[in-house]
Chain A
């Protein structure tokens, strides 16, 4: 899959933003006034910034409002509802904390649940696609949720929780890589089933339908992404989990937590680039590519 910067930016930062909102909704850290304003400003900048970035990959962004209509069948539409619901509820909850020094607990808890639901619906947009076996696994939503929670805990300064969640997210990430490498072969889709010609003999793509490139090849076939896959996996795991973990274990200082956050974000961005760049869409089979 083509690793579009807008989608990588969107999934990374909205995941972190809604992860932070989850902890703020539950009252961690228990901040009010200007401190609360600062925390919510960071969370909203990431969540809303991510959502805005996602509109950049639309062909007709001016009609984006229509994406709210099909919540009965479409995960993308459900994501739109959850995101707006979470942002509105958390906005009201934040107003209480910032302006009235009052924590409206039920609003916060409801907003926290909707924030996690937003991350879940985002993950389901990818998980539902049978055409991309590397994403079509039950572990995919677990990965998105565990990363969002770990990042949220880190941003919320919940050190002890963050330590546990970082390790969990790291283990889940490793598991998705191991399982993902087998996914295309396990899906049963290959040249023989794609062409139906497997009963005659071994099938080879002889000539593509066009001499130049096209939308399908640009969007779905990104073979270069797998070249440095193992190195990038190691780098992303180091930045995403190992470095923040070590920095958090060291005696507490704000500068170390800040460094841990920066390292974690860089790691998630790298992993998310790989999430797209490594994913094989079955349509590539028709071109003899993956």
Chain B
């Protein structure tokens, strides 16, 4: 059914810390690796070693430059994957029922054997979270590693999405954002977690933590203002060289 559930029992999702992310793309690689070898069709590449290479990825890291009114520009690395929206427009447009949102945990999934590859769900997603696999002809998207998080064959510490498990900076957190007492919900409350494109009305479950305010740059040497200025005008040979070069 491609109608959305009125309510889900849990709201599993990610919290991504833009202050901590170092832009190493390890989450991109671990996601590609896990999701190529496990649930659903592999994430194919086309012409991987040629000049015009491209491939299917469920997670990508953009980098943005932010220029404050005063002060230095900041570089912010920005991982982006499916936000498992509460009001997911990708689900309701699906003509076959292949796209659905799970009642038990809110994960948005694609039943690949029902997908006709029309691409309309990718058109409906404002975040670019869905990519049509060029080899398989079906829509691929983040599964929140549904085959890891409930997998009792894995050690307990591995029962979280591959991107979260692999992040060397601790910039990615996984949990139930519907439970106000969960660690992720507390983190969101504490750091002012935000929705991407709130005006699109998708009510994303994944939250982004904004970069913390930067400190002001302190004066390096407190005595510097009291020291006599060093002579700026060249003298002797350098003065002659300076004038000669000016004339040339």
Query: A277–B59 Cα gap in the complex (Å)?
Result: 27
The answer to whether A213 touches B54 (Cβ under 8 A) is: yes
Query: Which of A63, A131, A205 meets B64, CB within 8 Å?
Result: A205
- A209 and B116 in contact (CB under 8 A), knowing A73-B2, A216-B131, A282-B126? no
- Shortest beta-carbon distance from B79 to chain A in Å: 9
Most chain B CB atoms below 10 A, which of A132, A203, A213? A203
The answer to whether A59 touches B95 (Cβ under 8 A) is: no
Query: A110–B53 Cα gap in the complex (Å)?
Result: 51
Q: Is B103 an interface residue (CB 8 A)?
A: no
Interface size class, chain A: 35 or more
The answer to whether B68 touches A201 (Cβ under 8 A) is: yes
Stretch at the interface among B7-15, B154-162, B176-184, B190-198: B190-198
Query: A6–B52 Cα gap in the complex (Å)?
Result: 24
- A189 and B63 in contact (CB under 8 A), knowing A60-B116, A67-B95? no
- How many residue pairs at the A-B interface have CB separations less than 8 Å? 198
Q: Is B1 an interface residue (CB 8 A)?
A: yes
The answer to whether A215 touches B96 (Cβ under 8 A) is: no
Q: Which chain A positions have C-beta within 8 A of B175?
A: none
The answer to whether B199 touches A283 (Cβ under 8 A) is: no
Q: Which chain B positions have C-beta within 8 A of A203?
A: 64-66
Interface size class, chain B: 35 or more
List A residues 37-74 near B (Cβ within 8 Å). Answer: 57-61, 63-64, 66-70, 72-74
Query: Which of B65, B134, B197 meets A194, CB within 8 Å?
Result: B197
Q: Which residues of A contact B (CB under 8 A)?
A: 1, 57-61, 63-64, 66-70, 72-77, 80, 125, 128-132, 187-189, 191, 193-197, 199-210, 212-216, 218-220, 281-283, 286-287
Q: Which 8 A-B pairs have the closest CB atoms?
A: A59-B117, A59-B137, A209-B60, A201-B68, A283-B128, A76-B95, A67-B95, A66-B96
A-B contact pairs, 27 of them (CB 8 A): A58-B116, A58-B118, A60-B117, A63-B114, A66-B96, A66-B97, A66-B98, A66-B116, A70-B1, A70-B96, A74-B93, A125-B93, A131-B89, A187-B199, A189-B199, A196-B194, A200-B68, A200-B210, A201-B73, A202-B66, A205-B64, A206-B63, A208-B62, A215-B56, A282-B200, A283-B126, A286-B128
